Structure 1
Amino acid sequence: MHDTEQQPYDRSRSGTVLRWRPGEQREWAARAGAAVRYPGDTDWAAEAPSRLAQDPAVACEFLLARPVSVLAPFLAHWRPEPTRIDGDALRAVLAAHGTAAVPAVLHAAEHRPAAFAALLLPVLDVRAARLLTPGLLGVKSLQEPARSWFVRHGTAGALCLLPDALGARGPVQAAAEQALRRAVAEQGRAALRAAAADQYGADMASALDRLLPAERAVPGTVDGADLALPSWLRVAELPPPVLLSGAVLPAAEVRRLLALLRPGCSGSAEAVAGCRPEALAEFGWALFEQWRSAGEPVEDGGVFAALGAFGDDGTARRLGALLRERAGRDGDRWVGQVLDVLVALGTDTALRQLHALAAHLPAGAVESRLAEVADGLGLTSDQLADRLAPDGTTVFDYGARAFTVGFDEHLRPYVVDDADGRREELPPPGPQDDPAAAATAQQRFAALVWDVRALADEQGRRLEAAMVAERVWGADEFRELLGYPLLGRLARRLVWIIDHTAFRIRPDGTVTSAYGSNYPLPEGSPAKLAHPLHLGPDLAAWSELFADAGLVQPFRQLARPVKALTREEAAGHRLPRFEGAVVPADRLLARHANGWRQVGGTDLYRQLPDGSRLVLTFAPDAPTPRPGRTLRSVQLTSGPDRLRPGPRRLASLEPVAASEVLLELEELTSPEA
């Protein structure tokens, strides 16, 4: 779609900037599918006025078949009808034409903010900032794009709104001030002030100081007599933080700490500098539970600030379990805040919980946060997920004794000590051990075993999705994957392909063929997971080899059913054999968390590796023999509902994609429970 991909930081003469994440611009451009071909002698400048005046789908097709420099002047005045243009088409136009397309995107987002706000993510522009700031004040449809926009653009994004924040009181001023307060909390006052002085001058930096004083006074006195705390908060019932000396934090200081946790206040970190971390974590969790028991009032009293500031890996596990348990229920008002807490905690355990939640929560919320974390580390989201596997061994201290815990090839835990050798679990504490240290070690051991099992399941699903999508690991990336303790073990229980040669990785790092030939791991070539269709007549030999070696695969690879389109199906775009089936409600709910997305109210689609969409259309609600929805049509469309929605022949699918489509549809519509 591009002559060349623009740089991640792309500034136009108007001052608008596009900040792309690595690979994001190319991915947005690919949303449109293959470009329509125009004759080589097309007079683009002569054609542009009439083409851009037509239906937005026609206009987008014209823009994406274009020479960018010729069409840029015409884009400046193009305002597509927001109710008739597809969001993915507009994404592709923005990726192809860069800042020249920003006015059209802003026009669409202004008229249909819920539908097009996400297209503003790479756009650093005061108009984009103004459109998104209502999300900071609670407008639900804009909360996610607003949060992601301000995370991406940081200080520069907040400073777009400095003049508005210093203007007359009102909704615009309040939203701008909230954005600046967020920037102070996340980027630091010094960085924001220096950037304001550089961009606007010293006078505006001084005005910023007056708008946001260095520290907002905490209401009341230090003894806590007059501290204005939420009415639901019962301070006396909270477990007080414990100091390193063993004493508890005085009640007056606890009240002051609670006041300092509220938005706009600072100093909570200094207030608890001498407290034990584990006691602070319990204090934060008890505050959260008290808020929930009170009915989750809007005035949260700094609950989420406490979880992010004082939480530990135990907090992350509790939050992950809570969100998994609540998935699909009402009450998602604070789900985004919990996800932000996991990002703020930032430990590997917290990020593993965040990654695992992608299978349980609506698409977008988790993925955007993981992308932000990965971007900060210079990684892709897939590379971050690869690195979240726990290290090989962990030491657990009983005081007088210490034990090393690792995991074998089948991810079963084992415990090693100098006296008793190898065992399956930590031993009970003895008279010489420290009871408190031993109890903590046993809790950590149980949590580690649960984490590894849950992560192995989640990583197995990731690897299965990678096989289905035919993801390719570069040579260095593949060797790095094999070096991760958990992922390396999973990888050794799968069949891989390099240069059309299938192999299994042995524990010593060498590889073996289906017939037992051993040789070194091939150097310098990319690798991918083998699908049964890739293995051909060798599939039976591979299955026998794994069975003889007792290797249990992390997902159904060698035993995976292989499906094929009939000749009639391949020639068309629909799959009548599945139409009319009643899909149980629980299976539909599971699809929402398994890569399927909702379109047109209740219909579903999945985007396939080649950019096409498989669209499931359901009949209006009507009585059925069992709870569920009747599948009215199954069809393949060109592109992501593409620029001009239209059918696509099923024969265009690669064999693996076709097989996987048929397999999933069979499982979705099967009458068996």
Structure 2
Amino acid sequence: MSSDTGTGTTIENAAPGEIPGILADPPWEQAARRPKPAKPKEPEARVVDGLEPPPGLAVSWAPGQREKWAATKLYLSSSNDLDRLIDEYVADQRSMYPPTEASMFAGGPEDRIRPLLAEWRVRYVTPSFFRYLKPTVARYELEARDAMLHCAGIDAPAAGSALLPYLDAEVALLMADWMFRLKTAQDFTQAYFRQHGLDAVPFLVPDAVGKRRPPRRKATAALALVAEEHGLDAVVKAARVHGDEAADIVAEALSAGAPVADVQKKPAEGPPKPPKLPWLDVAALPRPVLRGSGRALPPAATANLVSLLALSSGDEPYEGLAEVFELCKPGSLAALAWAVFEAWRAAREPSRNGWVLAQLAWLGDDETVRRLTPVIRVWPGRSGHAKAVRGLEVLTAIGTDTALIHLDGIARKVKFTGLREAARRAIAGVAKARGLTSEQLADRLVPDFGLDAEGGLHLAYGPRGFRVAFDEQLRPLVTDDSGKLRKALPKPGVKDDPELAPAAHKRFAALKKDVRTIAADQVTRLETAMVTGRRWTPEEFRAYFAGHPLIWHIARRLVWLAGDRAFRIAEDRTLADVEDAAFTLPDAAEVGIAHPLHLGGRLGAWAEVFADYEITQPFPQLGRAVHALADGERGSSRLARFEGVTVPTGKVLGLTRHGWERGAPQDNGIEHEISLRVAGGRWVVIDLDPGIAVGAIDVFPEQTLRRVMIGTRSFAFGSEEGDRRFGELDSVTASELLATLTDLSTK
């Protein structure tokens, strides 16, 4: 019997004896054949139904807690702006930007805010919203309770800690529920019961001795936590406010010896059941192919494989699947994994299907990496930051050079700061595991793509052939057998070899795609190395630049330094000085890319050499503009010549492509600064007015550069002066900074 593998190729189905056992007889079918054990009858619990918790509301602060919350730093508008915001809020009673609204309630004038608290119900929240809840509680105590309950209802893990001082039945039972259900709420819920201790017991007892099982388990878990702190006898004594029988039931439950962690455990799970995947048409998926026979898994076995992938948890596939992966051809497994991923995306990425990304990590290959990377890059812009970070984990787990190249590309050049930082951390982790820095790892990640010693590739079509080389931007250049330059590699024709020509054309397409992926990053990386003064050993220089079949196309178009002596890589890969004499690289030299300031009076001579040889540079080096600080600027922490200039917001955002980082959003979701890290732990910070509106950059289309300052990272938004001096910068760093600021401020 034959089967369509889903790739348009018909392959014979595997024989029954070839199918891995876990796919031929999956766990749920084995379980169905086993006799079910008799379920032991649980003893009937003693209950006292109808008890009511004590009435009333109270606030009970831990020592120093209120003072600490009241001292939370607030980012507030001026008093006039606060009055205006309150007027707008009162006028239409609709939610404004959540952090603005929350800061207004936390820091606005009490006589105006207090009457509004009882009805305050924000409609949605953002991460920066929650910082204002605790100071609001410290200021208004019970008057803020209902508003805090509402916020906690929107996001319990983020807002629930604002309820810590409140001691009443509703809050105590909410805390018990969250402690039992939510892993993300463990810290503050356990802190609640430690803070209130025995005072919380009377609120928990009615549920702990009641008839309904879920509330009973949750309240008992909370009582057990209190008993750990204060002892069983003290808890039982506090429970007697509800009568001796209720206290005795509490004593029996807690004496059973189940600590809080055990009470929260789910009951032991039975045999697995095939998951329901309504968004996935399993019959349409490509079928994995066995290595040994070349036959495909039958439809039923493929369906069982997908079910076991879906049942996998965490970072490990279901037990027994490792053997399946070994028995199947990797490419066919990667095709299955990608088809599952595409079906999931087509269904609008239904939640609670984390296994879809996990199976890409287990089964994916380099083609998976090429397809997944563009998806990762756009996810954050579609409210998918968490998925994008998980995608980075997939690239890291696949771990091939291609995967790491794409991961490094995201770390260097993606517009979403959070994703870029996550990628940098991932690259740093891989580098550390190999005993390297991130930059050293990047040197080693550039593949040779099978290029020959001259940095090119011959593609045979049979009766004709073509040669591929690369220009200074690593763009492919195709020439035919006569040396004539062609616009592109032609498609195979009827006279070409029917096997060689399609294979060569396919190889060129993959080569072009992979080189295009790394080309811009490599040029940017080397320009950054010139600006930052990075150095290599002679061995590293030969291995990763002069001797590398791809990168040497860039390297030979630059002037290099060995100590204070400049040289270039000639067309035959020998080294030459400015007089075109042979240059010997000293064994102990530190090799770097020359900045024009390093060349001094030899700059013009080097420019003539490159002009004579018609060498086009990959980025401005010899013709690069240089700048210097004015005498009065060297001893200052400010660059006054750029202050007060108004520029388009888009130009400010463009700085992020050159290593600048946008500041954290402040009040109203406005980013008031953009900064650049320079050598010696210093930061150059531009104070922006009115600032960049997060998610709505067109709100303020222009920015005034209010202050341009230098200091340590401890100085930031709101500072009038930096704590360092611009004269501390080396001449290259100062020149590059001034060039950036000149370009920014020039219309």
Classify the TM-score, shorter chain: 0.5 to 0.7
Q: Tell me by how many angstroms 1:367 deviates.
A: 0.9
Aligned partner of 2:704 in structure 1 is 631
1:609 equivalent to 2:684? Answer no
Corresponding letter in the other structure for 1:253: A
Q: Percent identity?
A: 37
What's the secondary structure of 1:528's corresponding residue? strand
Q: Tell me by how many angstroms 1:612 deviates.
A: 1.1
Q: Measure, in 2, the Cα distance between the counterparts of 1:82 and 1:310.
A: 52
Give the alignment of 1:20-419 within 5 angstroms: 219-220=272-273, 227-243=274-290, 247-262=295-310, 263-264=312-313, 265-300=318-353, 302-326=355-379, 328-358=381-411, 359-360=413-414, 361-362=416-417, 363-391=420-448, 393=450, 407-408=469-470, 410=472, 411=474, 413=476
Q: Tell me by how many angstroms 1:398 deviates.
A: 8.5
Q: Measure, in 2, the Cα distance between the counterparts of 1:453 and 1:391.
A: 14
1:448 equivalent to 2:495? Answer no
Q: Measure, in 2, the Cα distance between the counterparts of 1:588 and 1:469.
A: 22
Q: Measure, in 2, the Cα distance between the counterparts of 1:303 and 1:625.
A: 37
Corresponding letter in the other structure for 1:407: A
Aligned partner of 1:657 in structure 2 is 733
Cα pair distance change 1:299/1:401, threshold 3 Å? farther
Is the contact between residue 638 and residue 710 of structure 2 (CA under 8 Å) also seen in structure 1?
Answer: no
Corresponding letter in the other structure for 1:385: A
Aligned partner of 1:561 in structure 2 is 625
Cα pair distance change 1:169/1:323, threshold 3 Å? closer
Aligned partner of 2:555 in structure 1 is 491
Q: Tell me by how many angstroms 1:629 deviates.
A: 3.9
Q: Tell me by how many angstroms 1:464 deviates.
A: 0.8
Give the alignment of 1:535-614 within 5 angstroms: 535-601=599-665, 602=671, 603-614=673-684
Corresponding letter in the other structure for 1:251: P
Aligned partner of 2:233 in structure 1 is none
Is the contact between residue 582 and residue 631 of structure 1 (CA under 8 Å) also seen in structure 2?
Answer: yes
Corresponding letter in the other structure for 1:493: R
Q: Measure, in 2, the Cα distance between the counterparts of 1:402 and 1:229.
A: 55
Cα pair distance change 1:632/1:295, threshold 3 Å? same
Corresponding letter in the other structure for 2:550: L
Q: Tell me by how many angstroms 1:279 deviates.
A: 3.0
What's the secondary structure of 2:441's corresponding residue? helix
Aligned partner of 1:648 in structure 2 is 724
What's the secondary structure of 1:464's corresponding residue? helix
Aligned partner of 1:203 in structure 2 is none
Query: Per-residue CA shift, 1:583-621, capped at 9, x if unaligned?
Result: 434334443353222334212111112321100111135
What's the secondary structure of 1:620's corresponding residue? strand
Corresponding letter in the other structure for 1:617: D
What's the secondary structure of 1:231's corresponding residue? coil
Q: Measure, in 2, the Cα distance between the counterparts of 1:393 and 1:403.
A: 17
Q: Tell me by how many angstroms 1:665 deviates.
A: 1.5
Say how many residue pairs are matched.
476
Corresponding letter in the other structure for 2:298: P
What's the secondary structure of 1:573's corresponding residue? coil
Q: Measure, in 2, the Cα distance between the counterparts of 1:511 and 1:174.
A: 64
- Runs of 5+ consecutive residues of structure 2 not aligned to the other structure: 1-67, 74-127, 132-155, 159-178, 188-264, 452-456, 666-670
Q: Measure, in 2, the Cα distance between the counterparts of 1:175 and 1:261.
A: 30
What's the secondary structure of 1:297's corresponding residue? coil
Q: Tell me by how many angstroms 1:83 deviates.
A: 7.0
What's the secondary structure of 2:704's corresponding residue? strand
Q: Measure, in 2, the Cα distance between the counterparts of 1:278 and 1:397.
A: 24
Q: Measure, in 2, the Cα distance between the counterparts of 1:447 and 1:529.
A: 31
Corresponding letter in the other structure for 2:688: F
Query: TM-score w.r.t. structure 2 length?
Result: 0.56
- Runs of 5+ consecutive residues of structure 1 not aligned to the other structure: 1-78, 85-111, 116-137, 141-167, 177-210, 221-226
Cα pair distance change 1:414/1:578, threshold 3 Å? closer
Q: Measure, in 2, the Cα distance between the counterparts of 1:646 and 1:385.
A: 34
Is the contact between residue 361 and residue 397 of structure 2 (CA under 8 Å) also seen in structure 1?
Answer: yes
Measured on the aligned residues, the alpha-carbon RMSD in Å equals 4.4
Q: Tell me by how many angstroms 1:304 deviates.
A: 0.9
Q: Measure, in 2, the Cα distance between the counterparts of 1:173 and 1:576.
A: 48
What's the secondary structure of 2:352's corresponding residue? coil
Aligned partner of 1:514 in structure 2 is 578
Q: Tell me by how many angstroms 1:274 deviates.
A: 4.2
Cα pair distance change 1:290/1:591, threshold 3 Å? farther
Query: TM-score w.r.t. structure 1 length?
Result: 0.61
What's the secondary structure of 2:551's corresponding residue? helix
Q: Measure, in 2, the Cα distance between the counterparts of 1:519 and 1:298.
A: 62
